Chains A and B, each alone.
Chain A
Amino acid sequence: MPSSAPSASSGRSDPWRRDLRVGRGAPARLLVDGNLVDAFEGESIAVALATAGILTLRHSPAAGGGRGMFCLMGVCQECVVSADGVPATACLEPVRDGMVVSLSPFRPARRHGIES
């Protein structure tokens, strides 16, 4: 069973939970912005991160709002991360052991407000 990283660190939310009654793939480890995250082979990056309490995957380019997976079918592009250096829709891309995931490259260089 994976031991998820503590959710107390900054940017962590309440972790989502795997139904542990079903069999999973082999244990796999991801390096996410320098932090180790335990996961299982075959599950998607976005879901693996959510079970570690990492829900904010990027920030919207115009207003800089935190965003996470939304459609889970590769349509909305809200969950695009860098996986081993390549942009990937995290909701579809399966976890591989040793994968290096980076959330920061897609943060906006500058933020400007939206009318509110």
Chain B
Amino acid sequence: MTADYDLIVLGAGPAGVGAALAARRHDLKVAVLDQARAAGGQIYRAPNFRVGAPELRAQPDLARGEKLRAALEGSGADLFLDHKVWFVAPGISVAAVGPHGPTRFEAPAIVVATGTTERIIPVPGITLPAVVGLAAATILLKAHAVVPAGPTVVAGIGPLLYAVASGLLKAGGEVAAVVDLARPTDWAAIAPRLASRPDLLAQGFSWVAKLRRAAVPLFFGHTVTAVGGSEAVEDVEIRPVDPDWRPLREGQPVLIKARSVAIGHGLVPATEALQLLGVPHAFHPAEGGWTPQVEADRSTPVAGVYAAGDCAGVVGAAAAGLAGEIAGLSVARDAGRLSPSAYEGETRGLQRKWARAARFGSAISRLMALRTGLIQAIPSPTVVCRCEDVTRASIEAAVSAGVRHVGQLKSTTRCGMGPCQGRMCAEAAAELVALGSGSDRTAVGQWTARTPMLPVPLAAMVGVYDYDDIPKPVPAPA
């Protein structure tokens, strides 16, 4: 089945929904695709438990998510949820696998709103079951209302630490400690920019206050140096860090008893679709890493391709919704449904609001930008590529043998070649190649995005057909 649209939107998070709603206001025929079964993205991930008024009152994100889902439902956009997009090409052509088999979409325009993946720098023991990402922990709470077996150590960088730890307490979990790479001075350095969103700042303070009331130890300027246990998590070793996030090895580490760990080191734009569409990328650490080239109107150098939200540079959910709206209006303008003057009128206020929201979001992004001490601290035997069990030692051996680019690393070690397609190890692997070869992230490059973008069973991709459906050449005359 091929469906024709004016606009395809990849991703039903705040940016994708913003784009779809704006395009629908100008009567474009819109298809929205997402892998999840409900819209909202990860930030407004839909709960799979029953939501009553008390939950909505208690969780502002949940209420925002419900509002966003209702707006999308009523927008007249065609929703293709539970659809895995595995192919995208300029033109624009998209192939997905949904609950009823393979589907194809064609449109002159696409808004890519694929959000982020979490950066998780490996430590010994991180592959143990019951160690999950920090973003994963938010999903446990938001979508499942389930808490890991406690006590839980919550570790890494960014405001999610405090959201997760206080969320765990609220849901009946036990938090052993919060281990924050940032020192109080790092938080203070971005405080003036955070003041642009007093509501979010107040929310952060209330999380910390809740943790302090519950006497949860908060370790600022500390990092996890190992997760202990052979089959299950038993304890977590932490050490203070220097300003470059290098663990200080003098003195005894603090050992914390734990049964589970939530760990994350920031967010990276998820740009595989934009790479496949041919959009040029550049390395901008303060925006999360490799980011696509996107103009103020959210267009890219590739005709018909637009990018909005955190996949175009990490600045947070509030800014993402506004960027999506701008992208949707730009598509309408370029389709001739909106005059340039009307476009100016509609987007001027949005651009101003976006700049304000991005001010807060980019301060957080800057706080979370990766520092090399964390990479230098990875011990040699530690698994960096989870899929293929490639260790730091193997990566260093490859660099000693002459590897200077992540593509070369992949072909010599299989690092990044497994089913996650390098999404989980890209950051650590690229940093290690740069570190080992005395080079930088731009020089070591990024892995080439490949089709299929996600592992999809061949049977699902091909669908159901009869022998007679197969086109066969006419036999040559005898």
Contact = CB atoms under 8 A, between A and B. Distances in A.
B231 interface: yes
A87 B454 CA distance: 13
Given A56-B129, A73-B136, A74-B454, A17 B49 contact: no
Nearest to B170: A19
B418 interface: yes
Nearest to A114: B389
A73 B139 CA distance: 8
Interface string A61-83: 11101111111111111101000
Interface in B450-465: 454-455, 457
Contacts, number: 151
Interface stretch (B86-94, B140-148, B304-312): B140-148
A101 B149 CA distance: 22
A44 B48 contact: yes
A17 B140 contact: no
A73 B135 contact: yes
Contact of B50 (A24, A61, A71, A74): A24
Contacts of B163: none
Given A70-B133, A74-B454, A75-B420, A17 B139 contact: no
B50 A16 contact: no
B393 A69 contact: no
A42 B383 contact: no
Interface in B263-297: none
Contact of A71 (B133, B387, B389, B394): B133
A68 to B, nearest CB: 3
Nearest to A115: B393
B83 to A, nearest CB: 12
A18 B231 CA distance: 23
B388 A62 contact: yes
Interface in B90-146: 117-118, 127-133, 135-136, 139-140, 143-146
A62 B390 CA distance: 9
A77 B149 contact: no
Interface residues of B, number: 55
B387 A14 contact: no
A51 interface: yes
Instruction: Say whether chain B's binding surface is mostly helix, strand, loop, or mixed.
Output: loop
Nearest to A11: B231
Contact of B144 (A43, A57, A65, A80): A43
A78 B146 contact: no
Contacts of B135: 71-73
A17 B172 contact: yes
A67 B127 contact: yes
B42 A73 contact: yes
A75 B147 contact: no
B301 interface: no
A104 interface: no
B357 interface: no
Interface of B: 35-37, 42, 47-52, 55, 117-118, 127-133, 135-136, 139-140, 143-149, 171-173, 231-232, 259-260, 381, 383, 386-389, 391, 393-394, 418-420, 423-424, 454-455, 457
Interface of A: 13-19, 22-25, 42-44, 47, 50-51, 55-57, 60-63, 65-78, 80, 86-87, 92, 94, 114-116
Closest 10 CB pairs of A and B: A68-B129, A23-B50, A14-B149, A62-B389, A55-B129, A72-B136, A77-B419, A116-B381, A19-B145, A63-B389
